Every structure is written in structure tokens, then in C-alpha cells.
């Protein structure tokens, strides 16, 4: 699923007001972290992730999360990334356009 600019802008606005649900720290993307991310995406669709690593490693971890979960990167600012994946069975967020 590819999001257009209007949808990304809408999701960025929603993401601003939510708290991080998943945190990636020193041990990186463990199986448990990926499982929690999958559960959070299924339940919430829009998830804020805190990635507490160095800048270069942070970028690769975010790319790995996006690739492994088939989610869309809404935005990445500093140590925070917002991911979106539509729940096909029970959609929670109505996207514009």
C-alpha cells in the first residue's frame, strides 16, 4: 500500500499526539521487539516507535522494521519513527482521498 501526500500529512498530524508504544534500545531488533511491533500495528494501525541508538544504526533499524512488517514509514524525526499499516479485517483509521 502506497500512501499519497495528503494521507501522509493526515497521518503525521495523528502521530503527533500519540505516545511511543515500542522502544528499540541497546539490544536492537530482537524477536520480542518485532512481535510487539506486529501486535501494536495490528491493534492501532499507527504506531510511534522510539529508537535509542546512533544515527546510522537508527536509519537501518527503521528500514528493517518497515521491510519486515510491510508497514509505511509516515515520518522519522530524531529518535522517533511513526509507522502505519492498514488492518485489513478491522480498519481503525479512515484515510482521506
Domain boundaries, the chain: 5-84
Q: Rounded distance, CA 76 to CA 37, Å?
A: 16
Contact 75, 82 (CB under 8 A): yes
Phi and psi angles of residue 49, each rounded to the nearest 5 degrees, phi first: -120, 130
Higher pLDDT, 8 or 2: 8
- Rounding to the nearest 10 degrees, give the CA dihedral for residues 83, 88, 91, 95: 60
| pLDDT in the model for residue 2 | 85
Give the distance between the most distant pair of CA atoms in the chain. 40
**Residue 1: pLDDT over 80:** no
Within 8 A by CB and 6+ apart from 70, the residues are 85
Tens-digit pLDDT profile for residues 19-68 = 999 999 988 899 999 999 999 999 999 999 999 999 889 999 999 999 99
| pLDDT in the model for residue 26 | 85
Instruction: Could you please state the CATH topology (level 3) that the domain comprising 5-84 is classified under.
Output: Translation Initiation Factor IF3 (3.30.110)
Amino acid at each position: 500500500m502506497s500512501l499519497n501526500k495528503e494521507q501522509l500529512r493526515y497521518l503525521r498530524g495523528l502521530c503527533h499526539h500519540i505516545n511511543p508504544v515500542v522502544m528499540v534500545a541497546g539490544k536492537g531488533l530482537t524477536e520480542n521487539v518485532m512481535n510487539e511491533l506486529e501486535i501494536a500495528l495490528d491493534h492501532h494501525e499507527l504506531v510511534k516507535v522510539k529508537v535509542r541508538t546512533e544515527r546510522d544504526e537508527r536509519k537501518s533499524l527503521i528500514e528493517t522494521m518497515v521491510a519486515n512488517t510491510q508497514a509505511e514509514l509516515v515520518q522519522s524525526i530524531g529518535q522517533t519513527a511513526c509507522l502505519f499499516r492498514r488492518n485489513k479485517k478491522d480498519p481503525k483509521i479512515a484515510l482521506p482521498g
